[in-house]
Amino acid sequence: MKFEEIELSGFGKYPKALCKVARPNGIHEVLECLKSGSVISRGLGRSYGDASVNDSGIVAESLIMNKFISFDDSSGILRCEAGVTYKDILDTFVSRGWFPAVTPGTKYVTMGGALASDVHGKNHHKEGSFSSYVISFKILIASGEILECSREQNADLFWATVGGMGLTGFILETEIRLKKISSPYLVNKAVKLKNLDELFSNFEEHDADYLYSVAWMDIVASGSKYGRNILLLGNHCESTELTEKLRRKAAEKYVEKKISVPFEIPFTTLNKLSITLFNNAYYMKARSKTDFQHYDKYFYPLDFILNWNHIYSKSGLIQYQLNIPEEAGKDAVDKVLKKVVASGGGSFLAVLKKMGDQDGILSFPFKGYTLSMDFPVKKGIIEMCRELDAIVLDHGGRTYLTKDSILDEKTFKQMYNGLWEKWMDIKIKYDPENKFTSNLARRIGLCPS
Ligand SMILES: Cc1cc2nc3c(=O)[nH]c(=O)nc-3n(C[C@H](O)[C@H](O)[C@H](O)COP(=O)(O)OP(=O)(O)OC[C@H]3O[C@@H](n4cnc5c(N)ncnc54)[C@H](O)[C@@H]3O)c2cc1C
């Protein structure tokens, strides 16, 4: 098998490292990778930092191990290889009336990546994360054995692998449950709100009526505009609710249209002024209204902009995603936002949403509020994120490993206190020599000592 030397990063293009990349096309080639050194598995590289980067061994991409294995049309249970993507599933199953039960904000994510990060969507507070719909998976572990894992079989490895950032083995296959839908459209309700108080009360007010909810926050606005936001709520639409025109469109083959960010925009072009203008225009133009949206536009707006990650400059971007317990939610979000606004914001994209309870060891979600923000990598940004870490820790929260590129070992271990130790016992049982490792793992100390 060929190993290619490539400079790799995650979606944030920061940090970068020169890696030996392999593209195994079957179990025998994954085994070959393991014989050649330490390994981290990689899907489509949509994690933001260095979770699927390993500059001290091999990066094994799952992308050509991407076959559907079986599908039961009565239960919606799909078995597929780990390199199958959300896009593959949507393209194949939406027209048959099935949809992923949990989806992140991009469809360019593999099932292996979704499981290893235990991804969540806009419905987490109601329906849980990806692992809630995983029935079982097959994994190749450090000894070269292949194990089937479920809540009943090898349960410790099951729970260490969901949210385990690829550090327990190479996931070969996943068996997941899809949800039944009757149309590709969603009812989308936008509610324009003036501040955080209005947002928190609207989350509660609409909770019973909508499955999906997320708020876009303007994190540049200050003074009387501070905290303004637009709450976006949604439900899958029954085909009987659609207008005749949309019913006809729903029956046609769906064609995606994309625009592209052709080169990296220097941050001097995309400065505080331009972001303020963009946010102003977006907020002012928005109306509180209800309409129908195709699932592609509703769930994956960023996928319409090819190379979205070029928008912030050559030096890349950091996505900072925190989760704070429910009781402390508003207070902590307020403190974080004030700090970001005071430092000049600099982010188009800031979203706040509710999270529900979640099983798992290193899985990110728990009942509370999650806020994610993009920051261009520039002077002072890491120091600001460290200050945000202190607020998060102070309120019993944590940040999301799949988005992370800057967390240090001490802070990680405080944020995941009691959990990382439990996870490490299982890691040592299945991978005592630390064959599966990554730059992220070494940075935050997720390695047996
Ligand atoms: C625009 C955008 C929006 C996003 N929105 C959300 C969101 O709403 N919610 C959310 O939770 N996440 C979100 N994400 C993050 C993304 O869903 C996760 O980072 C996901 O894990 C990426 O999957 P991937 O296939 O690209 O894997 P990679 O980024 O390549 O890898 C991610 C992790 O999975 C591991 N992995 C990959 N394949 C395997 C395998 N076969 N076996 C074992 N481990 C494996 C890697 O080692 C790594 O630790 C978003 C990302 C982007 C770019």
| 295 contact partners, CB below 8 Å, separation of at least 6 | 90, 94, 99, 184, 185, 186
Q: How confident is the model at residue 342 (pLDDT cuts 50, 70, 90)?
A: confident
- Domains belonging to the chain, first-starting first, are 68-181 (3.30.465.10)
**pLDDT, average across residues 323-339:** 95
**pLDDT, average across residues 375-404:** 96
Does residue 344 register a pLDDT over 90? no
Q: How far is the CA of 403 from the centre of ligand 1 (A)?
A: 9
402 lines ligand 1 (CB under 6 A): yes
| Interstrand relation of 170-180 and 98-100 (parallel, antiparallel or unpaired) | antiparallel
Residue with the nearest Cα to atom 36 of ligand 1? 113
CA–CA dist 437, 449 (Å, integer): 13
**pLDDT, average across residues 25-53:** 97
Does residue 405 register a pLDDT over 60? yes
Ligand 1 atom showing the smallest separation from residue 302 Cα: 1
162 lines ligand 1 (CB under 6 A): no
Specify the pLDDT at position 219: 85
184 lines ligand 1 (CB under 6 A): no
**pLDDT, average across residues 215-231:** 90
Q: How far is the CA of 118 from the centre of ligand 1 (A)?
A: 8
Q: How far is the CA of 402 from the centre of ligand 1 (A)?
A: 6
Specify the pLDDT at position 410: 98
Q: How far is the CA of 111 from the centre of ligand 1 (A)?
A: 9
102 lines ligand 1 (CB under 6 A): no
Q: How confident is the model at residue 260 (pLDDT cuts 50, 70, 90)?
A: low
**pLDDT, average across residues 280-301:** 84
Dump pLDDT digits (tens) for 104-140.
999 999 999 999 999 999 999 999 999 999 999 999 9
Does residue 328 register a pLDDT over 90? yes
Q: How confident is the model at residue 312 (pLDDT cuts 50, 70, 90)?
A: low
Specify the pLDDT at position 273: 63
**pLDDT, average across residues 157-183:** 98
Does residue 214 register a pLDDT over 80? yes
171 lines ligand 1 (CB under 6 A): yes
- Extended strands (E) in 228-288: 229-236, 259-260
Q: How far is the CA of 226 from the centre of ligand 1 (A)?
A: 32
The stretches of 94-232 forming alpha helices (DSSP H) are: 111-117, 124-127, 155-161, 196-206
**pLDDT, average across residues 362-379:** 95
Q: How far is the CA of 343 from the centre of ligand 1 (A)?
A: 29
Q: How far is the CA of 40 from the centre of ligand 1 (A)?
A: 13
| Residue 383 Cα distances to 91, 328, 369, 390, 439, angstroms | 42, 23, 23, 11, 21
64 lines ligand 1 (CB under 6 A): no
Specify the pLDDT at position 268: 52
Q: How far is the CA of 86 from the centre of ligand 1 (A)?
A: 11
Backbone torsions φ then ψ of 433, nearest 5 degrees:
-95, 10
119 lines ligand 1 (CB under 6 A): yes
Q: How confident is the model at residue 270 (pLDDT cuts 50, 70, 90)?
A: low
Candidate from 29, 59, 107, 109 with most ligand 1 atoms within 8 A of CB, to mutate: 109
Helix (H, G, I), strand (E, B) or coil at 353: strand
Longest dimension (CA), the chain: 63
104 lines ligand 1 (CB under 6 A): yes
Lowest mean pLDDT among 160-169, 185-194, 273-282: 273-282
302 lines ligand 1 (CB under 6 A): yes
| Residue 358 Cα distances to 183, 215, 256, 434, angstroms | 29, 21, 34, 27
